[in-house]
Amino acid sequence: MQAVQREIAEQLKVQPPFKDQADLEAEVARRVAFIQQCLLNSGLKTLVLGISGGVDSLTAGLLAQRAIRELRASSGDQGYRFIAVRLPYDVQFDEHEAQASMDFIEPDERHTVNIGPAVKSLANEVAAFEGHQAVTRDFVLGNTKARMRMVAQYTIAGAAHGLVIGTDHAAEAVMGFFTKFGDGACDLAPLSGLVKNQVRAIARYFGAPESLVEKIPTADLEDLSPGKPDEASHGVTYAEIDAFLHGQPVREEAFKIICNTYNKTHHKRVMPFAP
């Protein structure tokens, strides 16, 4: 079991557990520098990130804002900007937590794009939905929401001459728990290789409220299952996923679920197939 865990962890470039506070701080500094280098390499000065209210976008936003502030301070160029975007589907049930994340991050700019009208308009034009059950339509449109959110972010980034930040990390990557060409599409992924408890640890390092750090993770994409916890979709807990990725013992059933899901979602983690 450990050999399989080790192989998957290597493929996902999983970072080892933080040994102490100094180790955590060094990792934060490394990732902030990574964001800065991506921006400098691109010749652009703006970062764009959708803020959902969950700890992943909160942590990515905190890293991005620090990167931008440091770039402004070191270069004297006030043109560097971080744009945080709210992307609700009409009215989001946990909007207060999304706004709390925004308030704590203190981005340079706040934008809001309601994706509801665009998603509904597209759904009304899709004849392929005819004859399908409501649950199938709901699941498909959940992925459409994720893709529409990324369309909005790239539209803003195009207008602002910037890069789009993604929030994928190792605990989501191993489960393929992202929408292909939706939240899985981005220009840089500063949380890559971290497990869930490391993402939370970084948010705590920045002093984020515990209510946001420990908020129950949910993609909240399905109208028929609003606020459905990620772990209910996974069939395993994030604690088990983290343990798996760090080579620690897990239940046999959890091991099977994670491995099977990882294999089934391989296509999400690679470039499009080509001859």
Taking the C-alpha atoms of residue 273 and residue 275, their distance in angstroms, rounded to an integer, is 7
Instruction: Please compute the mean of the pLDDT values over residues 183-190 and round it to a whole number.
Output: 97
Does position 63 have pLDDT exceeding 90, yes or no?
Answer: yes
State mean pLDDT over 201-213.
98
Q: Which two tokens stand for residue 22?
A: 């100094």
- What pLDDT is attached to residue 29? 98
Strand partners, 81: 46
122 band by pLDDT with thresholds 50, 70 and 90: very high
- What pLDDT, on a 0 to 100 scale, did the predictor assign at position 93? 87
Nearest 5°: the CA angle 177, 183, 185 is 115
* pLDDT for residue 214: 97
CATH (domain of 151): 3.40.50.620
User: Are 56 and 191 a contacting pair, CB within 8 Å?
Assistant: yes
Span 92-96, average pLDDT? 91
- Confidence (pTM): 0.96
In a domain, 238, yes or no: no
Q: Strand 46-50 vs strand 81-86: parallel, antiparallel, or unpaired?
A: parallel
pLDDT recorded at residue 207: 98
Q: Examine residue 255 and state whether it is found in any structural domain, yes or no.
A: no
Whether residue 246 lies inside any domain: the answer is: no
Give residue-wise pLDDT tens across range 5-58.
999 999 999 999 999 999 999 999 999 999 999 999 999 999 999 999 999 999
82, two tokens: 């971080």
Q: What is the pLDDT of residue 165?
A: 98
The answer to the question of residue 133 being in a domain is yes
Neighbours of 217 (CB within 10 A): 21
What is the mean pLDDT of the segment spanning 244-269?
A: 97
- Please report whether residue 253 resides in a domain: no
- Report if residue 75 sits inside a domain: yes
pLDDT of residue 191: 98
N residues, the chain: 275
Contact 199, 59 (CB under 8 A): yes
pLDDT at 247: 97
CA distance 180 to 136: 17
**Residue range 136-144: mean pLDDT, rounded:** 96
Q: Tell me which long-range contacts 135-138 makes (C-beta under 8 A, separation of at least 24).
A: 135/224, 138/222, 138/223, 138/224, 138/225
Asked, for residue 273, whether it belongs to a domain, the answer is no
| Residue 152 in this model has a pLDDT that exceeds 90 | yes
pLDDT of residue 1: 87
pLDDT of residue 177: 97
Residue 157 pLDDT: 98
Closest CA to 179 of 191, 170, 193, 168: 168
Mean pLDDT score, 106-127: 97
Spatial contact of 119 and 186, defined as CB atoms under 8 Å apart: no
Residue 143 reports pLDDT greater than 90: yes
Task: Tell me the catalytic residues.
Answer: 56, 172
Domain span at 198 = 17-230
Structural domain includes residue 120: yes
Q: Which residue has the tokens 């990882």?
A: 262
Number of domains in the chain: 1
H-state helical runs in the chain: 2-11, 21-42, 55-75, 95-105, 116-125, 134-160, 170-173, 196-205, 210-213, 230-234, 238-245, 252-264
